[in-house]
Amino acid sequence: MIFPSTACIVQRKLGMHGGAAFDVQAVCTGFVYALAMADSMIRTGLASKALVIGAEVFSRILDFKDRTTCVLFGDGAGAVVLEASDAPGLLASELHADGRHVGILCVPGSVAGGAVTGDPFLRMDGQAVFKLAVGVLDSVSRSVLSKADRTPDSVDWLIPHQANIRIMHSAARKLRLPADRLVVTVDEHGNTSAASIPLALDTAVRSGRIARGHSVLLQGVGGGFTWGAVLLDF
**Is 164 assigned a catalytic role?**
no
Quick one: angle between helices 165-174 and 126-147, nearest 10?
Answer: 40
Low-confidence ranges of the chain (pLDDT < 70): none
Q: How far apart are CA 53 and CA 14, in angstroms?
A: 13
Please name the residues in contact with 45: beta carbons below 8 A apart, sequence gap of 6 or more: none
Rounded CA-CA distance 91/233 in Å is 7
CA distance 234 to 231: 10
The pLDDT tens digits of the residues spanning 135-179 come to: 999 999 999 999 999 999 999 999 999 999 999 999 999 999 999
Q: DSSP states of 128-149 as a string? A: HHHHHHHHHHHHHHHHHHHHTT
Strand ranges for 63-203 from DSSP E: 76-83, 90-97, 105-106, 110-112, 115-117, 123-124, 157-160
Phi, psi values for residue 182, rounded to 5°: -100, 125
Domains and their CATH numbers in the chain = 1-234 (3.40.47.10)
Catalytic, 101? Answer: no
The whole-number pLDDT of residue 151 equals: 96
Which one from 96, 101, 106, 161 is the annotated catalytic residue?
161
Active site residue 28: yes
The terminus-to-terminus CA distance of the chain in angstroms comes to 35
Backbone angle region of 130, left / alpha / beta, with phi > 0 → left and psi within -120 to 50 → alpha? alpha
- Catalytic residue among 70, 101, 106, 191, which? 191
Residues 172, 138: contact at Cβ < 8 Å? no
Catalytic residue among 8, 17, 28, 169: 28
pTM: 0.95
Query: What is the per-residue pLDDT for 178?
Result: 96
Q: Which pLDDT belongs to residue 1?
A: 87
For residue 182, the 8-state DSSP code is: B
